[in-house]
Amino acid sequence: MSMNFDVCVIGAGPGGYVAAIRSAQLGYKTVVIEREYLGGVCLNVGCIPSKAMIAAAHFLHKTQHEAPKMGFEGTEGIKVNMSKLKNWKQSVCDKMSGGVSQLLKGNKVEVISGEASFKTVNELSVKTKNGDKTITAKYFVIATGSRPIEIPGFKPDEKDILTSTGALDLEKVPQKIVTIGGGYIGLEISSYLQKLGSEVTVLEAGGALLKGSADAECVKVVERKLKKSGVKVHTSAFAKSYKKQGNKLLVTAEIKGKLETVEADKILLTVGRRPNSDQLNIKAVGIKVNESGFVQINPQCRTNIPHIFAIGDIAGQPMLAHKASHEGVLVAEVIAGHNRVYDAKTVPAVIFTDPEIASAGWTEEQCKQNGHHELKIGKFPFAANGRAVAILETDGFIKIIADEKTHIVLGVHIVGPEASNLISEAVLGIEMGVRLEDLALSIHPHPTLGETMMEVAEAALGHAVHVINKPLTGAPRANA
């Protein structure tokens, strides 16, 4: 069976389904091909289910440990019904996936469930449960994402060795779990499991947690909270092998040069993700892939074959859902002849640990690498924010970095409550070239967490009211 379209999108994750919908909105006959589930990894076994479980675990923790401080009694006996929690989590995913289905249908996008493979640069073969189909199109958009990286001796089976997929679909809370990898996925899942009652040990091969993923000062706050909560964190720790002993797993690791054994009920493998560029017959039809496995694209997301585009995880870092969605819209508009290129100044990043970390723009080191050697830096602690005090979430701070001469904001880094929501103001500010004065002079509502953005800008300028500033030199004095 042969079918012809204007636009064929391969992969219905947060990049693919967005590209398909926008293409259809622009008047193109569009098809999206998906081999697993609408919404992709993010919506079904990644971003959405993990945030649901993190929210549930955070709710339990606050009820058990913080509600008594407010005067609520009898909260100690709350138990976790993992089966019901799992069903609730799945209902969230199903609702979101159903929403994507309705959006595709409402925009008249054809949906084909099956495994796609390029036959030529103009033709796809799709294996479906009803037989093979041939798809031709004027334009193709590759949005097939990524998958977990494996390491020798720890092949995931989602029973003993879990990826994030298995860790978000547990039938019961493991008594002990060893997490291999101290990146954002490993720490997010470790945090939620610890709050549900697991004893967690993190083995990170690098010298620090979240290396390269977040501001180092922000990471220290999270690391302190992890250790305080009982999570055992080992850096410079290399997982070597494991063996089963009865119902237990014994993990052998080299920790700072010495071999040690750590007992676990489950092992969580989170050492990163790799692009799915070895699938879809991409290389065989001449689409170029770089040494890291990413499909090579230009600023319009075109591959070396002009009518084939690539977006999302398969097209390079950062491997984030919101970057993929942005590229999905961009590609559809490029196809339609709009004057669009990828020119975002910043792609915000959020890590849903406890407390959350969020960032936009550059770190201090990156600022200097990009020629900004003289900086104005301000920090404002959540402990000085009335709203944070009222909700018993005072760990962390907001940090702002600006050019010394121009006062243009170059980076904002937040560790604390609702960091994921607070960072959007910084994203808009950086895209618009905002100055410290713009934030400091904008009236923010009180009492809110959001007013910390105003306070930190004032701190960078040296005149914050709610923290002690260094004395300003040359300040005018009133006449006696």
Task: Provide the residue ranges of all domains of the chain, joining segments of one domain with +.
Answer: 2-148+274-335, 161-271, 355-461
Active site residues: 446
Full-model pTM: 0.94
Q: Which long-range contacts (CB under 8 A, 24 or more apart) does 204-208 make?
A: 204/233, 204/234, 204/235, 204/236, 204/237, 205/181, 205/236, 205/237, 205/238, 205/271, 206/182, 206/235, 206/236, 207/235, 207/236, 208/182, 208/235
Q: What angle do CA 157, 190, 272 make, to 5 degrees?
A: 60
pLDDT reported for residue 60: 95
* Residue from 318, 272, 310 nearest 289 by CA: 310
Residue 318, preceding bond cis, omega within 30 degrees? Answer: yes
pLDDT reported for residue 416: 98
Per DSSP, the three-state class of 82 is helix
> Alpha-carbon distance 234 to 362, whole Å?
28
Q: What is the DSSP letter of 147?
A: E
pLDDT reported for residue 75: 79
- The answer to whether 445 touches 428, Cβ cutoff 8 Å, is no
Six-digit token pair at 74? 């009898």
With the CA atoms of 333, 336, 342 and 344 taken in that order, what torsion angle do they form, in degrees rounded to the nearest 10?
-30
Q: What is the pLDDT along the chain (480 residues), one digit of tens a residue?
A: 789 999 999 999 999 999 999 999 999 999 999 999 999 999 999 999 999 999 999 999 999 999 999 999 987 788 899 999 999 999 999 999 999 999 999 999 999 999 999 999 999 999 999 999 999 999 999 999 999 999 999 999 999 999 999 999 999 999 999 999 999 999 999 999 999 999 999 999 999 999 989 999 999 999 999 999 999 999 999 999 999 999 999 999 999 999 999 999 999 999 999 999 999 999 999 999 999 999 999 999 999 999 999 999 999 999 999 999 999 999 999 999 999 999 999 999 999 999 999 999 999 999 999 999 999 999 999 999 999 999 999 999 999 999 999 999 999 999 999 999 999 999 999 999 999 999 999 999 999 999 999 999 999 999 999 999 876 555 455 554
pLDDT reported for residue 1: 77
- The answer to whether 72 touches 60, Cβ cutoff 8 Å, is no
Enumerate the H helices of 297-418 as residue ranges.
321-335, 364-369, 386-390
Asked if 2-148+274-335 and 355-461 have one fold, the answer is: no
Handedness of CA 352, 356, 361, 364 (dihedral sign): negative
Task: Report the b/e string of 54-68 with b at 16+ CB within 10 A.
Answer: bebbbebbbeeeebe
- For 212, residues 6+ apart whose C-beta sits below 8 A from its C-beta are none
pLDDT reported for residue 480: 45
pLDDT reported for residue 473: 55
- The answer to whether 327 touches 2, Cβ cutoff 8 Å, is no
Amino acid at 91: S
pLDDT reported for residue 470: 75
With the CA atoms of 417, 421, 426 and 432 taken in that order, what torsion angle do they form, in degrees rounded to the nearest 10?
-170
Top CATH class of 2-148+274-335 equals: alpha beta
Q: Which CATH number fits domain 355-461: 2.30.31.70, 3.30.390.30, 3.40.50.300, 3.90.550.10?
A: 3.30.390.30
Q: What is the DSSP letter of 317?
A: S
CATH architecture of 161-271: 3-Layer(bba) Sandwich (3.50)
Half-sphere exposure of 380 (CA within 13 A, CB side): 28
> Alpha-carbon distance 87 to 92, whole Å?
9
- For 407, residues 6+ apart whose C-beta sits below 8 A from its C-beta are 376, 435, 436, 437, 461
- The answer to whether 313 touches 145, Cβ cutoff 8 Å, is yes
